[in-house]
Chain A
């Protein structure tokens, strides 16, 4: 079975840091994706982690611990345009490539 959990909503002020956690259960791990989705728009790719550790891309970083079934997306120096839903996604098993299972998404609200 497949289970992906993320918080429903997080609020932070402009310039702050927010960490969005994602826990997952799969019958074989084949990487974890993070996507950003603004309201009414298509999701856009942010990061892909397949090895343990932290990967940094500018203001956004993503961390993975395969042994704990855990990832987080770290958003630094928050800007108003970062207000969006952030989706965690994994393939359900190692032989189910492409069949991404998405979490329900975490709505991040950035306030002035």
Chain B
């Protein structure tokens, strides 16, 4: 079955630690995205990648980093520089152009203690 997987579903970290969230897709999609969702708010774009070895900052990239070494994988690192990292993180992918729908993974709920 094709889809997007994110792991883990729940993640707890101590303040000051970097943490990497996994996102893998087997849909053969070129584009991948990371969003953050806070209670009562819509999704906000952190980073996106249109093609392997290329990525761009979204609206709230500060304190985050990504890599896109393989088409299938787009891991997100939440660094200690992110002032308020506790949130629900969603990864998505699409075939490419904007008119193509984005498919979302199940999300990772990160809690920083």
- Partner of B90 from the list A43, A48, A91 (CB cut-off 8 Å) is A43
Residues of A within 8 A of B102 (CB): 33, 45, 98, 100
B107 A42 Cβ-Cβ under 8 A: yes
Q: How many residues of B contact A (CB 8 A)?
A: 27
B25 at interface (Cβ–Cβ under 8 A)?
Answer: no
CB-contacts of A74-108 with B (<8 A): 87, 89, 91, 96-105
Q: State the CA gap A104–B33 with chains docked (Å).
A: 18
B31 at interface (Cβ–Cβ under 8 A)?
Answer: yes
B99 A99 Cβ-Cβ under 8 A: no
A-B contact count (CB 8 A): 66
Chain A residues with CB under 8 Å of chain B are: 4, 8, 30-31, 33, 40-45, 48, 50, 87, 89, 91, 96-105
- Partner of B99 from the list A4, A8, A30, A101 (CB cut-off 8 Å) is A30
Known: A41-B106, A42-B106, A44-B104. A96 touches B43 (CB 8 A): no
B107 A41 Cβ-Cβ under 8 A: yes
Residues of B within 8 A of A50 (CB): 99
Residues of A within 8 A of B45 (CB): 99-101
